[in-house]
Structures are given as structure tokens and as C-alpha cells.
């Protein structure tokens, strides 16, 4: 129905109508191209997402497997540690403040046995507040000392008569407990006992069976390089003489075993064990018809005198030996040897 006053639209020609169809076809093709392009991009992202998902699944499975293996290894390690956990006690008996009480060292083998019992009791007493299974832990003890130097020191202190008494003491200590050892380090150039304690401390702290370690030695044998490389929560220091601030400020436990060790020596007491000083030894030598007791005295030398003696000995001089030996035979024959030998008949 036409509106009054308006002329009817002229009909479109076939060419105009074809042109309109061409425009619509182009729009349709553009839409199809756009849809295809989006589809390809979506498929590409989907494929990448699938790869990422597979990768994540593989990583997760690997982590789960590693976690499972780690748990198994941890359980195995816990079982191993639970088999024979032990506590180690290391003592440098040559260090100042770590000489045992007279009631032990003067009683030969009985004193050594009593010391072993007391050390075991005090160690378990210290461990009980820290470990529920303290009474079932193996206690291993290593005492290091220059036995000859210690004997000479104790002879000068009039506590033992000869090296044999001290050997009997150390033998009694070892024989009392199968896991207790007294190790004679001999005369060392770098403080053999302290070096042994230091090396044992570094070695045993890596042992998975070690529950704790108790150390009695000179602070000089605990350098910062060593303490920084070991787990300090596993270490307790025995304080016999006051520890320096460099040790007390560390997160390390400290205890005192006053029933075992004497206090530090007084300034007027004889020189510490293992240092050069007057040497006095008593020795028993078997002879045909009876034994004879030998008293050997070696005078103290300064460093310059010692160097001179060593030079004379290298040169073959006969007076390089300044020791004095006195022998009393079974027939009351007295022999004095100080480089030239003479006999006095009793």
C-alpha cells in the first residue's frame, strides 16, 4: 500500500539484485574465513595445552615416585639408626683440666675400673633428660693420652711410682667395658692427643648411628673451621676450665663432670704432661739371680740447651746423654751411670 504523495520505488534490475547477492556472498566468505582462522588457532592452543598437561602429569608422577622413594629411604634410615644408636665420649687426658682424680689413677687396675663405672654413670645421667632411650644407648669412650709423659708427670707429683702403675690403671679402664678404650698416642709433634680428638670429632659426626657426642679437650683443639662443619646440636663440651667466649656464644651444650676430673693445675705445680721438663722414671729390669730397680733422672733443658745437645748427639759427642741412672742389685751392688760408669759395693 503506497503512501499518498509518494512515488512507488522503481523495481530493481537483475544486475542490481546480482550485485547485492555478490556482496552477501563476500560477507559470508569473510565470515567463514574468520571462523576457520579462529578454529585453527583454538586447535593449536588446545594441542599445546594438551602437551603441557601431559608434561605436568609426567612431572607430578615423577615427584610422587621420588617422594615415595624418599619416604622409603627415610624409613630405612630410621630403622638403621634405631638398630644400634650410640653416644661417643672423647677425652684428651693430656689437656689441662682433664687429669682424672687421684682416687682413680693411684689405685692401679681397680682405679681404672672405678673410673669406667663412674664415667658410664655420669654419661647416662647427663643423657636421660635429652633422650627417652638413654639407658639403652651404646656408650663408646675414647681416652687419648701420652702414657709415658703422663707417668713422668705423675711420678713428679708423687702420685704413682712408675709407668707400670699407670699402665695397670689404663688396662683396668679398658677391661671394665668392652666399648671403653684408652689409647696411648705416644710423643707427638703436634699434640697427638688433641689431634686425635679433633679428627675423631670430624669423622664420627657424619655417622648416621651417632646420637650424641661428648668432648673433653682443650679449646685450642676446636677451631672455628671444624665447628662450622659439624652439627653442633649433636655436640656437648665438658667444661673443666672456663671456656672462651668464642665457644660459649655458639649454640652448643656444655656440662661438667666434677667427679671425674681435677681442677686446673696451680701456677707453681710441675709443668704439664708431655712438655720438656725434669724426667724421672722408675723401671724394673730382670737379671740372673734377681731384679734391680733403676732410677733414671734427666735434667730440664732450655730450648737452646736442647738444641746444643741435639747438635752434640749428631756430631757423635759422648756427653750428649745427660741422664743419671742408678741401679741397686740383689746383692746390694750400687751402679751409677752418668756417662762414666762406676760400681760401689755395698
At 75-88, the pLDDT tens digits run 877 777 667 899 99
Q: Is the pLDDT of residue 291 over 60?
A: no
pLDDT at residue 4, rounded to an integer? 64
Q: What percentage of the chain reaches a pLDDT higher than 70? A: 71
Range with the largest mean pLDDT of 104-118, 273-287, 326-340: 104-118
pLDDT at residue 108, rounded to an integer? 93
The answer to whether residues 192 and 185 touch, using CB atoms and an 8 Å cutoff, is yes
Higher confidence at residue 18 or residue 334?
18
The reported pTM is: 0.59
Kindly report which listed range (45-54, 144-153, 295-304) carries the lowest average pLDDT score. 295-304
Which whole number is the average pLDDT over 114-118? 96
Higher confidence at residue 160 or residue 345?
160
pLDDT at residue 83, rounded to an integer? 76
Which whole number is the average pLDDT over 176-190? 85
pLDDT at residue 90, rounded to an integer? 97
**pLDDT tier at 302 (50, 70, 90 boundaries)?**
very low
For residues 69 and 208, what is the distance between their CA atoms, to the nearest angstrom? 19
Q: Is the pLDDT of residue 263 over 90?
A: no
For residues 200 and 90, what is the distance between their CA atoms, to the nearest angstrom? 8
Q: Is the pLDDT of residue 272 over 80?
A: no
Instruction: Report CA Rg, the chain.
Output: 44
From residue 239, give the alpha-carbon distance in Å to each of 214, 219, 220, 284. 11, 10, 13, 38
Q: Is the pLDDT of residue 117 over 90?
A: yes
For residues 213 and 222, what is the distance between their CA atoms, to the nearest angstrom? 14
**pLDDT tier at 328 (50, 70, 90 boundaries)?**
low
At 187-238, the pLDDT tens digits run 765 668 999 999 999 999 988 889 999 999 999 888 888 888 999 999 999 9
Which residue(s) pair with 86 in the sheet? 138, 210
For residues 18 and 14, what is the distance between their CA atoms, to the nearest angstrom? 6
Helix (H, G, I), strand (E, B) or coil at 328: strand
Nearest-10 crossing angle of helices 163-176, 147-156: 120
pLDDT at residue 300, rounded to an integer? 46
DSSP annotation of 286? E
pLDDT at residue 252, rounded to an integer? 92
> Exposed e or buried b for every residue in 57-88, given b needs 16+ CB within 10 A?
eeeeeeeeeeeeeeeeeeeeeeeeeeeebbbb
Higher confidence at residue 289 or residue 51?
51
For residues 309 and 55, what is the distance between their CA atoms, to the nearest angstrom? 80
Q: Where are the alpha helices (DSSP H) in the chain?
A: 14-83, 102-105, 108-127, 147-156, 163-176, 192-204, 224-227, 245-248, 303-315
pLDDT at residue 312, rounded to an integer? 36
Higher confidence at residue 275 or residue 140?
140
CB atoms within 10 A of CB 3: 7
The closest of 107, 88, 90, 223 to 154, measured between CA atoms, is: 107
At 140-169, the pLDDT tens digits run 999 999 999 999 999 998 999 999 999 999
Q: What percentage of the chain reaches a pLDDT higher than 90? A: 40
pLDDT at residue 11, rounded to an integer? 80
The answer to whether residues 208 and 80 touch, using CB atoms and an 8 Å cutoff, is yes
β-pairing verdict for 180-184 and 253-255: unpaired
Which whole number is the average pLDDT over 103-123? 95
pLDDT at residue 23, rounded to an integer? 87
**pLDDT tier at 28 (50, 70, 90 boundaries)?**
confident
Nearest-10 crossing angle of helices 108-127, 163-176: 40
Amino acid at each position: 500500500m503506497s503512501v499518498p504523495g509518494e512515488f512507488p520505488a522503481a523495481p530493481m534490475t537483475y544486475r542490481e539484485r546480482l550485485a547485492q547477492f555478490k556482496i552477501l556472498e563476500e560477507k559470508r566468505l569473510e565470515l567463514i574465513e574468520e571462523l576457520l582462522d579462529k578454529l585453527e588457532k583454538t586447535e593449536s592452543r588446545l594441542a599445546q595445552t594438551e602437551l603441557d598437561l601431559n608434561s605436568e602429569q609426567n612431572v607430578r608422577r615423577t615427584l610422587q615416585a621420588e617422594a615415595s622413594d624418599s619416604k622409603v629411604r627415610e624409613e630405612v634410615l630410621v630403622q638403621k639408626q634405631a638398630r644400634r644408636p650410640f653416644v661417643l665420649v672423647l677425652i684428651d687426658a693430656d689437656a689441662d683440666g682433664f687429669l682424672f682424680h687421684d682416687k682413680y689413677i693411684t689405685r692401679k687396675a681397680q682405679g681404672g675400673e672405678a673410673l669406667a663405672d663412674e664415667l658410664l654413670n655420669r654419661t647416662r645421667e647427663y643423657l636421660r633428660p635429652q633422650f627417652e632411650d638413654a639407658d639403652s644407648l651404646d656408650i663408646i669412650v675414647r681416652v687419648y693420652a701420652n702414657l709415658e709423659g703422663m707417668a713422668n708427670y705423675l711420678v713428679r707429683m708423687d702420685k704413682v711410682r712408675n709407668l707400670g702403675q699407670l699402665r695397670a690403671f689404663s688396662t683396668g679402664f679398658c677391661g671394665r667395658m668392652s666399648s671403653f678404650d684408652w689409647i696411648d698416642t705416644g710423643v707427638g709433634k703436634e699434640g697427638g692427643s688433641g689431634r686425635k680428638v679433633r679428627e675423631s670429632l670430624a669423622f664420627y659426626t657424619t655417622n648416621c648411628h651417632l646420637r650424641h657426642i661428648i668432648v673433653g679437650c682443650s679449646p685450642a683443639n676446636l677451631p672455628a673451621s671444624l665447628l662450622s662443619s659439624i652439627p653442633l646440636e649433636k655436640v656437648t663440651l665438658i667444661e673443666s676450665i672456663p671456656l672462651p667466649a668464642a665457644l660459649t656464644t655458639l649454640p652448643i651444650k656444655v656440662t661438667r663432670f666434677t667427679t671425674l676430673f681435677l681442677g686446673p693445675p696451680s701456677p707453681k705445680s710441675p709443668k704439664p704432661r708431655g712438655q720438656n721438663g725434669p724426667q724421672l722414671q722408675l723401671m724394673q729390669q730382670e737379671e740372673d739371680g734377681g731384679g734391680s730397680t733403676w732410677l733414671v733422672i734427666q735434667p730440664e733443658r732450655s730450648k737452646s740447651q736442647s738444641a746444643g745437645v741435639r747438635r752434640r748427639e749428631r756430631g757423635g759427642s759422648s756427653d750428649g746423654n745427660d741422664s743419671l741412672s742408678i741401679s741397686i742389685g740383689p746383692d746390694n751392688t750400687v751402679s751409677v751411670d752418668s756417662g762414666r760408669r762406676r760400681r760401689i759395693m755395698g
